[in-house]
Amino acid sequence: MKEIPDHEMKSFEFDDLFGKNMRGWVKDPNGNSTGGWGLMLIPRDMARFGFLYLNSGSWDNKQIISKRWVDESTFPHSETQIGESIAKYGYLWWLHKEGGVSAYSALGDGGNVICCIPEKDLVVAIASEFIMNPRDRWTLIKKLIIPAVID
């Protein structure tokens, strides 16, 4: 991944928050990272981040993120009711287990997703223009992508 430049927000219109005016890693006017959103990545870098997690924080035999943090952040720490099912959540990762397949996903605004499926050694990166109420990307992944890679 290339270094992600800081981007100071000067206004808070739609394009500044989610659209064409957003660049790099967003900071508020006080210089604080927005934290839960505002990171602009290309799909290749999204996949690289997922690959880093899939490999327990190691890249080219160098530990970039501690294995302990990877394990802790992808462990269920809370649950929430979504429709008829219960969703589990780690630290910024949604945790999935269906049909014998476990996965964890970082879900971004408008349908962006990084999904790691350790048993299949698979990372799925989906980049999207911001869309209000996008379709559930996990449904797409579990119904179409996972079956395509299962032997």
The pTM of this model reads 0.78
If you write DSSP's letter for every residue of 52-103 in order, what string do you get? HHHTTTEETTEESS-HHHHHHHTS--EEEEETTEEEEE-SS-EEEEETTEEE
- What pLDDT, on a 0 to 100 scale, did the predictor assign at position 1? 63
Task: Take residue 121 and report the two structure tokens written for it.
Answer: 């050694």
Instruction: Classify domain 41-149 by CATH architecture.
Output: 3-Layer(aba) Sandwich (3.40)
- For the stretch 66-124, pLDDT in tens is 999 999 999 999 988 776 667 888 998 989 887 788 899 988 777 789 999 998 899 99
- For the stretch 8-58, pLDDT in tens is 667 777 776 666 766 667 777 777 776 666 677 889 999 999 999 999 999
Amino acid (one-letter) located at 43: P
Where are the chain's structural domains?
1-40, 41-149
